[in-house]
Each structure stands twice: as C-alpha cells, then as structure tokens.
Amino acid sequence: MPIISPWQPSTVHGACSIPEPCVVPEPVKCVTSCQNLGRDVETMCTDDIVIEATKYYTYKDGTERYTAPENAIENALKQSLQRFTRESRILRRRAVMVTQKGVADYYIEPLNDEQIHAIESICVDGECIPFADGICCDEDECASNGNFNYRGFTFEIPNKIVFSERSCRDGAKITIKYIAETTNDACSFDKVVWDRHKQAILSGAAAHLLTLPSWEWTAPSFGLNEERRYLMLLAQAQIEAARRYGRISKTMYSGRRF
C-alpha cells in the first residue's frame, strides 16, 4: 500500500461551470481555540507538537525507514491526548453557576477542546449533593424545609446535571468539580499536560501509529514496546494525580482501566 503523503492542494478540471480550474483551499489551521481562554489554563496548539513528534514514528525493522504523513501523526497525537487525559484523570476542573427557581436541569460549559469525563462532586451553597441512581422530577414540590436538601443528582452526557428536586429560589451557588478529557478532534490542549507528561503522550501516539496495519511506516514490535512504556508512565501519572489531589481512587490499583 502506498505511503499517504501530507495533503496538498490540487487542481481539478471540469468540476466547475466556469472554464478556470478549481483550486482546493488550504485547510484552516487552529488559531482562535489556541488563545488563552480567560481562565487559569494555558493552552498550546496540537500543530506545535507534530514536528517534534515526527522522529518517534519513522521506524521500520529491517527495511528503509519511512516517515508517517503529518495527518496520521496529528491524528495519533490527538487520540493519545484524549486517552491519556481520560485514563490519568489529571484534568480537574471547576464550574460555578447559580440556581434558578423551579429549575432542576443545569448545563456545564467545558473549556474549548475539552469534554466532561466524570463528575467528582457537586455542592449547593456549601451542601454536598450525593449522586443518585434515579430521579423524580414530575412533582412541582420543593424540598419540604425550603432549603436545598436534594436527594441527589444525575449526570447526562455530555454536560447536563439533573437535580432530584427543582430549586426553591434563585441565586444559590452551585459548585461542580469534574474531571475533563480532551476531545478526539482537539485543536488545542492544556499545556501542563505536555509539560509534565510529554513522553507518555508520545508513547501513546507511537503505540497507536506503529501498530496500524498494512502501512509502510508501521512496525508492530516497536509499537508494542511503546504501549508498554505508555502504560508504565500512565500508572505513574495516576499515582501522582492521586497524591496531588489528596485522594486515591479505590479502582486505581485494582487493575480497572478508566
């Protein structure tokens, strides 16, 4: 199978009603989503790490070395970023909003190029709200004492919180702590992930890219080695995150994958 070369604009004849040829425009590079988001999160572009990552993906055992195309490398890096942020649970985020009277449903707005992986905790005016297996939103009654003794909440993918009781008043402070992961098409990501876990991301991307079947740049033996290295670095990151945030998940050491 031939090597896929990086995308280049091409001239197509006969596709337009005008006699001049059609020129396919260059793809738009990530710009706006790489700017600072106004929160205490510094981001960087995925484009900025593609060139640095290229040297990891040029192996071919016993033959001439081939370089994977840039679009394949970029895709592998994005897949690795999402996998690592999801499995390491290192992206702790906080969302703050206020209650509205008669409303039980609230929507979290994640940062650009991120999505919610799991909810850690929800508090309303300092009162912790437990996670509920089920909800009952058919009644118009508020909590019996007029406060916020909610029976619980549920989380609906991708970003909806549903309380078991409608709010009795406006303006109560809702504080939501959640774990984020990058999206699979993220153009930008939290710079701290790259600064602290660069090798894990590169190894995860290499494991993905080098084990793809039937391409000239693949080398499964190298890819499996990179997968083992990724899993080792992931375990270290999980322990580091657990110690940093003062909690050790019961499932972190049980062999369960996140």
User: Hey, how many other C-beta atoms are within 10 angstroms of the C-beta on 227?
Assistant: 17
240 pLDDT tier (thresholds 50, 70, 90): confident
The model's pTM: 0.71
Give the mean pLDDT of 98-106: 91
Which tokens belong to 122?
């929800």
Please spell the DSSP secondary structure of 24-83, one letter per residue.
PPPPPPP-GGGS--SSS--EEETHHHHHHHGGGG---TTS---PPPHHHHHHHHHHHHHH
State the average pLDDT for the chain.
75
* φ, ψ for residue 144, nearest 5 deg: -60, -35
Q: How far apart are CA 215 and CA 201, in angstroms?
A: 22
Which tokens belong to 191?
């710079």
Q: How far apart are CA 36 and CA 25, in angstroms?
A: 28
Pick the most confident of 24-33, 44-53, 134-143, 227-236. Answer: 227-236
**Tens digit of each residue's pLDDT (9 = 90 or more) over 196-219:** 999 999 999 989 988 888 887 788
Q: How far apart are CA 13 and CA 5, in angstroms?
A: 22
SS (H, E, C) 188-218: EEEHHHHHHHHHHHHHHHHHHHHCCCCCCCC
The count of C-alpha atoms lying within 13 angstroms of the C-alpha of 58, restricted to the half-sphere facing its C-beta, is 11
Q: How far apart are CA 86 and CA 189, in angstroms?
A: 13
Q: How far apart are CA 203 and CA 171, in angstroms?
A: 47
Predicted pLDDT of residue 242 = 84
